[in-house]
Amino acid sequence: MSQAITLEHKDSVAVLTMQTAENRHNPQFLEEFHGHLDAIEKHQKTGAIILTSASEKNWSLGIDLEWMSAPDNDAAGNEKFMNEVTGLFKRIINYPVPIIAAMNGHTFGNGSVLACACDFRFMKSDKGFFCFPEVDVFVPFFPSMFPLINKAIPQTFFNRLAMTGERVGAQQLLDNNVVEAVFEDEEALQTGVMEFASKLKKNRWIYGQNKSQMNKGITEVMEQEDPAFVAKMSVVLTQMMQKK
C-alpha cells in the first residue's frame, strides 16, 4: 500500500506532503497523519510544519465517501471513523508546533475544515478553489466545525460559503483574511511558505499553551457535543450512501 502522506525534514521545518490524487480522508490518512505528528513531537529541532500536496490539481477534497459507502462499512464503523476525524482536528488545534497549510490545489469539504484547523493558510492563484459543498451533498457539519472554521473564516463570509456551496479563489480568501498571502504559482507558493515557516522557531510549551487556551471553546464542543451528534448522523449517512 502506497503512503497517503510523507514526511521530510528541511532544517527546522517538517514538510508533510499528501500523496494521493484527491487526498481524501480515510482511516489510512488519519493513521499516517497521527504517526507523522508523533514523530515530529520527538524531533525537537522542528519549529514549524508545512502541510501541502503532491497533486498538481488538489490539496484535499475531504472525506473519502467511496470508502464510507462500501457495503462492508456499517454505521458503527462510520461513527468510529468520524469521531477519529474530530480527534485529528482536536490534536491539530492543540498541537505545540505551528502547522501551515500550503493550499496548492482544490480544497473542498473536510479538506477545507482541515485547512481551517491549521494555524496559518497560504494559497496560489493560478489553480485551485476553496469550497464547503456540504449543503449540496447532504453532509452536515459537526457542531465543533462551526467554531473551528470561524477561527479562520469571518462569520459572514463563512455563512455565504456554507449556505451556497460557492467555490471561491485565492484572492477572495485573501480579501476576507482567510489566508496570509497569495502566490502566483506553485514554485512561488512553496518558496514563500518555506520562508515564513523557517522563522517560526517558538518555544513549544508556550505555543501549545496559547493554542489550547485560544481554542478551548472548540475543544469543549468536540468533547461535549460531537459524539452524540456523530452517533445519530452516522446512521442516517450510512443508510443514504448505501442506497446509492
- Structural domains in the chain plus CATH codes: 5-198 (3.90.226.10)
| Model confidence pLDDT, tens digit, residues 82-110 | 999 999 999 999 999 999 999 999 999 99
Contact present, 19 and 6 (Cβ < 8 Å) = yes
Q: In what order do the strands lie in the sheet with 13-18?
A: 5-10, 13-18, 48-53, 99-103, 120-124, 181-183
**Residue closest to 85 by CA, chosen among 27, 128, 133, 40:** 27
Question: What does the pLDDT average to over 206-224?
Answer: 98
* Continuous segment of H or E residues that includes residue 181: strand 181-183
Q: Measure the CA–CA gap between 240 and 244, rounded to whole angstroms.
A: 7
| pLDDT exceeds cutoff 60 at 244 | no
Question: What does the pLDDT average to over 166-194?
Answer: 98
Cβ neighbors of 107 (< 8 A, separation 6 or more) are 58, 59, 60, 61, 115, 123, 128, 129, 130, 131
The mean predicted confidence, pLDDT, of the chain is 95
Cβ neighbors of 56 (< 8 A, separation 6 or more) are 105, 127
Q: Is the pTM of this model over 0.85?
A: yes
> Beta-carbon neighbour count of residue 87 at 10 Å?
14
3-state secondary structure 6-47: EEEEECCEEEEEECCCCCEECHHHHHHHHHHHHHHHHCCCCC
Q: Are strands 58-60 and 24-25 parallel, antiparallel or unpaired?
A: unpaired
Q: Measure the CA–CA gap between 214 and 220, rounded to whole angstroms.
A: 12
| Model confidence pLDDT, tens digit, residues 105-143 | 999 999 999 999 999 999 999 989 999 999 888 788 999
Distance of CA 189 to the CA centre of its chain: 18
Q: Measure the CA–CA gap between 224 and 212, rounded to whole angstroms.
A: 16
CA-based end-to-end distance of the chain: 28
